[in-house]
Structure 1
Amino acid sequence: MATERVLVPIEQSVTLRRTVGYAVESALDSAGAVELHFVAAVTNDERTPTGRRAVEDAEGLLDRVRAWVDEDGGESMTVETAAIGTDRYLFSPRDYADTIVEYVHETGIDRVILDPEYRPGASAPMLRPIEHRLDEQDIAYEEAPVERRTRRAQFVTGGGASRFLALFLVSVGFYLVLGDPTYWFDLVTGAVTGLIVALTLSHVTFPKPPQAVRSTLRTLRFFVVYVPYLLYEIVKANLQVAAVILRPSMPIEPRMTRVRVAVPGGLPLTSLANSITLTPGTLTVRADDQELIIHALIPDAREGLFAGGLERGIRFVFFGRSATSIASPEERGDTEIIRGEES
């Protein structure tokens, strides 16, 4: 009897351990021989510390999967593990799905078992793109019938007063931006709304106590200075993109660019990523550990990224004027074009 080859794509998830257990149990219950393949799809970021760490994490996870197989009684079972996709840059869910389908064809996989929480390199579930590709190729698959644990957010403790005040100020400020800060009714309703939001959500909004009030007010003051600069960059980028579109030759040069920024993670990195996305001609695809993957439509947009104007602006907001003296990404050598597209 021919050996059945079963593929299980893996990524760290709340249901991975039980998915591996189900795959081993199915193999043990099978009447014939079964060869289990566990693969981790990893995008080609090996030239950066983040990418190398991702590959190392994938290899460590594959080692753990082998240990789980042994724990579940599959010591004598044929098990193959591999990190796939490292020879290319995986961008969209479709790219990950294509990589898995290629492995299926290369190794003669008969059946695929899917972890219901499988989502490599993405925040959205991956099952639908993979299911579509498997259906297109007439590849048999099933979703592991495992129970999903309820994800409970841990309530933060400590810094109650600072959390309350920070959320109150942010809520009132946002309310007045949408309303009229000169109208007494909006001032009163904004204060009431901010009070309700702070009372009900201040203990779950911040993962750690916010900075002292003085520091927070300084950041808000610097942010007010940053907004006109951001608007200027948005208007300038609009004109640059419009000029390119109106030219008969349309010299559009789409490029995927990796930029290592001198901005820490958390709110500063998120603010920079969103500022770049707000600027026409650029789109932040991924923000992770001080590294941004950005799609730039035209050369001027790409040169602006390398010059680091928005990066300096964000450093000014969160760390003051002295932080603007840091060299630009281009001067630091922290830029790289990782994929080009034909226009």
Structure 2
Amino acid sequence: MVPLTDTRLLVPVSESNTLRNTVGYVVQHALDRAEETGETPSVHFVYPASERLPSETETTEFETAQSLLDRVMVWASEDLGDNADAVELETALVGGREYLFSPGDYADVLARYARNNDLHLAVFDPGFAPLGTTPLLPPLENEVRRAGLEVREAPATRERQNPLLVRSGNVTQFLGLFSVSFLFYLFLAGSVVPFELVTGAISATVVAVALWGVSLTTPIRPTQAVKRLARVTLYIPYLLWEIAKANLAIAYVVLHPSLPIDPEVVEFDAAVWSALPVTTLANSITLTPGTLTVDVTRSHFTVHTLTRSSREDLFSGSLERAVRFVFYGRDVARIPSPLERREEREDA
């Protein structure tokens, strides 16, 4: 192994199969440097969170992050053994109050933490993937280098870069896919007579057996899935109501003799993260007459609005809050609207 040449290390962490080996690698080389230089190396394990919360309310990701950091400290302490005083260990959760989507976003947060703590070398776990399955490490390492830090990748065994198409599944995933397929079949059939129930169950079983290792790439959490489904059932009537109101407003504009339109393309940053919530919000905006999502870059929306009232409704943040309620729950649904956030930035 190529030795690390610095005594102040930044180690970004996320759940991965290679993290344990990375911790051992970093701790061992910190001990080696302590023996060679007589100094006390400092190793900072940091977890960059991809959520932005309007309050101090903890979410599942934050609980998961803290649990992982606690686990990392246990591993590091085990590796230090009787040399606990030879290396300074720190853990931190960073970026929790910011939007983190691109490698540049993560690099900015990590570099800022490194500057504030006088850290000079970033050591990356080869399995580091804060966005789940989305590849991030190579561009992130380049961005961190541009920010002025030396970068090293731990020589741990890499995970498979091109995972198998078919993955092993569990009973929960099978039942989840069966349920979705069965309900969708009944929805298309429009009937719950015995014949449809039997054929629907057979079809759902075939689909679940054939596709449970392909279509479901992450484990299903039944409690969370049920809660989200319940919130979706509340969101759909709300969205239909908003669409109906917007239809009436646009009908009035179209039928008015003076055609009082005021078209304008506007931009705003939405307080949602990850692909599904962003897509849901973008489609909801487009489905609402008077507004059309033109482009989305991470959480930055470009929307064409037909009237002043449609712009006011968009910037009121009602749809955004509803989408947050569906995906993140009631505790983080109430946040400043896009207009309020813009005014806060202008005042700052």
Kindly provide the CA deviation profile for residues 276-300 of structure 1, in whole angstroms up to 9, marking residues without a partner as x.
37553387888xxxxxx78464673
Equivalent position SS for 1:36: strand
Paired position in structure 1 for 2:156: 146
Q: Distance in 2 between matches of 1:294 and 1:11?
A: 25
Q: Distance in 1 between matches of 2:53 and 2:142?
A: 29
* Deviation of 1:46 (Å): 3.9
In the TM superposition, 1:140-289 aligns within 5 A as 140-148=150-158, 152-156=167-171, 167=181, 200-201=210-211, 243-245=263-265, 252=266, 254-258=267-271, 272-273=280-281, 275-276=283-284, 279=287, 280-281=292-293
Paired position in structure 2 for 1:39: 46
Paired position in structure 1 for 2:65: 58
Paired position in structure 2 for 1:71: 78
Paired position in structure 1 for 2:31: 28
CA 197–12 in structure 1, closer or farther in 2 if over 3 Å, else same? closer
CA 20–166 in structure 1, closer or farther in 2 if over 3 Å, else same? closer
Q: Is the 8 A contact 1:112 1:141 kept in 2?
A: yes
Kindly provide the CA deviation profile for residues 244-270 of structure 1, in whole angstroms up to 9, marking residues without a partner as x.
15xxxxxx3x222348xxxxxxx9x79
* Deviation of 1:274 (Å): 6.5
* Deviation of 1:126 (Å): 2.5
Q: Distance in 1 between matches of 2:278 and 2:168?
A: 21
Paired position in structure 2 for 1:96: 106
* Deviation of 1:199 (Å): 5.8
Q: Which amino acid aligns with 1:75?
A: A
How many residue pairs are counted as aligned between the two chains?
279
* Deviation of 1:201 (Å): 2.4
Q: Distance in 2 between matches of 1:83 and 1:163?
A: 35
Paired position in structure 2 for 1:179: none
Q: Is the 8 A contact 1:277 1:284 kept in 2?
A: no
Q: Distance in 2 between matches of 1:37 and 1:153?
A: 35
Paired position in structure 1 for 2:229: none
Kindly provide the CA deviation profile for residues 28-60 of structure 1, in whole angstroms up to 9, marking residues without a partner as x.
233334321212223573434765654454344
Q: Is the 8 A contact 1:276 1:284 kept in 2?
A: no
Kindly provide the CA deviation profile for residues 282-328 of structure 1, in whole angstroms up to 9, marking residues without a partner as x.
87888xxxxxx784646735624858579999x9xxxxxxxxxxxxx
Equivalent position SS for 2:171: coil
CA 173–195 in structure 1, closer or farther in 2 if over 3 Å, else same? farther
Where does the alignment leave 5 or more consecutive residues of structure 1 unmatched?
175-192, 212-218, 246-251, 260-266, 287-292, 316-331
1:109 to 105, 111, 119: 119
Q: Distance in 1 between matches of 2:79 and 2:46?
A: 19
Q: Which amino acid aligns with 2:137?
A: L
Q: Which amino acid aligns with 1:276?
A: S
Q: Is the 8 A contact 2:46 2:91 kept in 1?
A: yes
Q: Distance in 2 between matches of 1:199 and 1:120?
A: 31
| Deviation beyond 6 Å, 4+ runs, structure 1 | 157-160, 171-174, 193-196, 239-242, 282-286, 309-313
CA RMSD between the two structures: 5.6
* Deviation of 1:24 (Å): 0.8
Paired position in structure 1 for 2:134: 124
Kindly provide the CA deviation profile for residues 64-101 of structure 1, in whole angstroms up to 9, marking residues without a partner as x.
32222111125221123323335644343311111112
Q: Is the 8 A contact 2:8 2:43 kept in 1?
A: yes
Paired position in structure 2 for 1:10: 13
Paired position in structure 1 for 2:330: none
Q: Which amino acid aligns with 2:168?
A: A
Q: Distance in 2 between matches of 1:339 and 1:53?
A: 25
Is the counterpart of residue 134 in structure 1 residue 134 in structure 2? no
Q: Is the 8 A contact 2:52 2:97 kept in 1?
A: no
CA 166–11 in structure 1, closer or farther in 2 if over 3 Å, else same? closer
For normalisation by structure 2, the TM-score amounts to 0.55
Q: Is the 8 A contact 1:258 1:335 kept in 2?
A: no
Equivalent position SS for 1:281: strand
CA 301–173 in structure 1, closer or farther in 2 if over 3 Å, else same? farther
* Deviation of 1:242 (Å): 9.5
